[in-house]
Structure 1
Amino acid sequence: MFRSDLTRFADRAEAGRLLAERVKALGPRDPVVYALPRGGVPVAAEVAAALGAPLDLVLVRKIGAPGQPELALGAVVDGDAPEVVLNADIVAATGASEAFIAAARLRELAEIERRRARYLTGLAPVDPRGRTAVVVDDGLATGASARAALRALRRRGAARLVLATPVAPPETLKAMRGEADDTVCAVEAEVFFGIGAFYRDFHQLTDEEVIASIAAYRERMGSNA
């Protein structure tokens, strides 16, 4: 890990290649790489390629605050019993009611199902049981989505959890170390104005780009994908 408030990645693929070097140095045993879509997919594809590991998705949706949808109250991740993780201090500060959170949860679960149908049609999920699950996103702000993903994968039987991200503020990383067995971050940003500030190209990926990225990875890796 290195500290910098000026480093900018060219794009998510470059960030993924730099991150992959650090993840590979951990020597993860029998790894599976799980991307947080949309933005985490091209980053995770580079990590998975470096490890020669399967690439899968962990579908998580942020629950935004009332009137401030970009402020994360928490997140929900799919599964047999959907995992909901809340940021208690933000819930209290915004006055979000239980009814508001319940409605948001249902709405975001519906979007998760839509994405699953678009992104993973015909692809069987990879079972993390007994394996090293490497969770990858293109950056962390509050870490709510990554926290939900890690807890869900732990519940599904992952033997070891690695959280890997190109950039995050130190306070978020400190909090996440209680969720993952290892955390890997290329840039620990003391001054943090948002993930996009650390990329020259940080356009919002479309569903079509995500699908194309997954297909390109599978073609690149062949039978190892």
Structure 2
Amino acid sequence: MIDLYYWPTPNGKKVSIYLEETETPYSLVPVNISLGDQFKPEFLKLNPNHRMPAIVDHTPKDGGAPISVFESGAILFYLAEKTGKLWPQDIRSKYEVTQWVIWQMANQGPKLGEAGHFRRLGDREGDQSYAVRRFTDEANRLYGVLNMQLRNRRYIAGDELTIADIISYPWTVGWQAQGQDINEFKHFKRWFEEVGARPGVRRGLAVGADLSTDTSKLSQEEQDRIRKILYNQRALPVTE
């Protein structure tokens, strides 16, 4: 059984989509990032980077003690290796998929996240116009990269769905908040609609829908408290 330490963000949904798409049994363990659950000692044992998601596999392939894995890309590699699904292992296909998983982790996720962050921030921290322009343009560039890749193939790494698609899709759901118009990218839009229509993907996206909080309905004091937890973090003190 897999324990999935989760909150319904794009990074969390990468893993819930994989588990639902492959029909892999799992148990959901909510990590309420608005309350600071990610900083609790028991979670830091799983992920010293105090970010979710993380998993614990109680039945690893080697038959030994439970294995914990953090970072969504590493989790998808682990699960795909364990299940034998959505990550081909012939050398050419394997690294076609692998490079796009790394691309998502190093480029798409961070830059689209920054685009959304600065566009939401408004003028609360002063003039953000350069940051908004910088990351909105970079988001546009990255949508263009996907669009170019998908111009002559059904999925990102070829003709079959793989973890390259699973890891990239959740971050594209927020295209409007990232200041993009997907009608500009016809090949990407075709892929986006096809992947989004898959029953497993739809189930994975819906995981934890009842956990989310509409922060716009909270008091300003509560919004400020949550913002303090989520943003402008500095190093945790070392505990002996």
Q: Give the TM-score, by structure 2 length.
A: 0.32
Q: Which has the higher helix share?
A: 2
Highest CA radius of gyration, 1 or 2? Answer: 2
Q: Give the TM-score, by structure 1 length.
A: 0.33
Q: Which has the higher strand share?
A: 1
Q: Which has the higher contact order (CA 8 A, sep 6+)?
A: 1
